[in-house]
Structure 1
Amino acid sequence: MKQPIEMYINGEARSVTVDPYRSLLDTLRGEVGLTGTKKGCDVGDCGACTVIVDGRPLNACLMLAVEAGGCRVETVEGLQASPDQLHVLQDAFMRHGAAQCGFCTPGILMMAKSLLENNANPSDDEIRFGLSGNICRCTGYTKIFDAIRSAARQLQETPA
């Protein structure tokens, strides 16, 4: 039996009615229409579906939508600073060529956002550990690390 739930998605209150077994990932993509969050492995191994729920990065494929009722959910669509300005991380990924096919990019961006919110100046080991649940099959991670380091520097130089 379908259940109504309310979430705050990218700062906007959203009401959806879902089957109790429906994942947050499928709900975001299907019922809400936010397709930036990607379905990779659908078992929590690849990180392509990483979103931030109440300040914590999570694999949306492993969370039921009903569990997200009342929660604040941030997706890659909400990352953009404004309609006319990319988030520092998005800009850094473009400048450093950190995306190849782009399938993993939304999850990595969300994980990197969480990492930089909790550690303004991460070491390479801290970036490696922070992204350990996100798999990229194209870049070898060097450009991704360069982009995250660049974004960290830019965020430190920008007054709050």
Structure 2
Amino acid sequence: MRCLIWKVPLLAFRWSEVEKTSDDAGTVEIQQADGVPGTAVITATDKYGVSKTYTINFTETTSAYAGDMQWMVNECGYSTTKIDRSIDGNPLKLTVDGKEKTFAKGIGTHATSRIVIDISGKGYERFQAMVGVDREQIWQHDCQLGIPRLL
């Protein structure tokens, strides 16, 4: 059985402070974004003076995908859970309204699986999911699908 596709509206950010591990470890400079939309710039310099700069652009969105969020629990009954791919590493495909539909975003997992994402206190107003058996496996098994629930 292949269960997939969770979509959660709204996106929350968590920003962490960087802790220096020793006096000769180098430096990290962070220029915070002024807001959303905005840009943050992180410059890391090692103890030899070699620097690398990372730019992060923040934009507003009305949705976030479960595959892009931090998971509290990821238990996959066979192989490993895949982000935006089927359990076999192929594009995610479901039958929707009698026709095959390919999804760019989603979660490919195998029975018996459990994925837990803590969305409490993040301002989410609803949870929307499309769950099904991937087309590459539809002919192999009878199955029962569990609908995600909010704890």
Q: Which TM-score applies when normalising by structure 1?
A: 0.24
Higher relative contact order (CA 8 A, sep 6+): 2
Structure with more of its chain in helix, by fraction:
1
Q: Which TM-score applies when normalising by structure 2?
A: 0.25
> Which has more radius of gyration?
2
Structure with more of its chain in strand, by fraction:
2
